[in-house]
Amino acid sequence: MPEAPPDEEPALRVEGLDVTYGRAVSALRSVTLTVPHGQVVALLGANGAGKTTLLRAVSGTLRLHRGAITAGRVRYGSTELDGRDPVAAVRAGVVQVPEGRRVFAGLTVDENLRTGGLGLGRRRPDQVAEARDRVFTLFPRLAERTRQAAGLLSGGEQQMLAIGRALMTAPRLLLLDEPSLGLAPQMVYRIAEVVREINTQGTAVLLVEQNAGMALSLADTAHVLEVGEVRLSGPADELARTDAVKRLYLGETTDDTATTGTDTTGTDTAQTAARTEGQGAA
Partner 1 sequence: MTTFLDNVFNGLALGAVYALVALGFVIIFKASGVMNFAHGSLLLLGGYLTAVLHDDLGFAGALAVSVLVTAAVAGAMDRFLLQAGGGADPHAAHVQTIVTIGVDILILTDLSRRIGGDLLSLGDPWGDSVSGLGPVTVADSRIAAIVVSTVVIAGVFALFRYTSWGLSLRASAEDVEAAALMGVRLVRIRMLAWCLAGALAALAAVFLAAFPAPGLERTTGQIALKAFPAAILGGMASPPGALAGSLLIGMTEALVAGYQSDLHVLGEGFGDVAPYAVMVLVLLVRPTGLFGGKAAVRV
- Give residues in contact with partner 1 (CB under 8 A): 59-61, 63-64, 66, 85-87, 89-91, 95-98, 102-107, 111, 114-120, 149, 151-154, 165-166, 169
* Beta strands across the sheet bearing 12-21: 25-35, 12-21, 67-76, 79-80
Helical ranges in the chain per DSSP H? 51-59, 86-92, 109-115, 125-138, 140-143, 155-167, 185-200, 212-218, 236-241, 243-245, 257-260, 265-281
92 vs 236, beta carbon nearer partner 1: 92
Q: CB 163 → partner 1: shortest distance, Å?
A: 12
127 vs 242, beta carbon nearer partner 1: 127
How far apart are the C-alpha atoms of 141 and 138, rounded to whole Å? 9
208 vs 216, beta carbon nearer partner 1: 208
103 vs 138, beta carbon nearer partner 1: 103
How far apart are the C-alpha atoms of 92 and 234, rounded to whole Å? 27
Q: CB 169 → partner 1: shortest distance, Å?
A: 7
Q: CB 198 → partner 1: shortest distance, Å?
A: 17
Q: CB 162 → partner 1: shortest distance, Å?
A: 8
Helix (H, G, I), strand (E, B) or coil at 164: helix
Q: Which of 14, 23, 91, 25 is nearest to 56 (CA)?
A: 14
Q: CB 233 → partner 1: shortest distance, Å?
A: 26
81: Cα within 13 Å, side-chain hemisphere = 30
96 vs 221, beta carbon nearer partner 1: 96
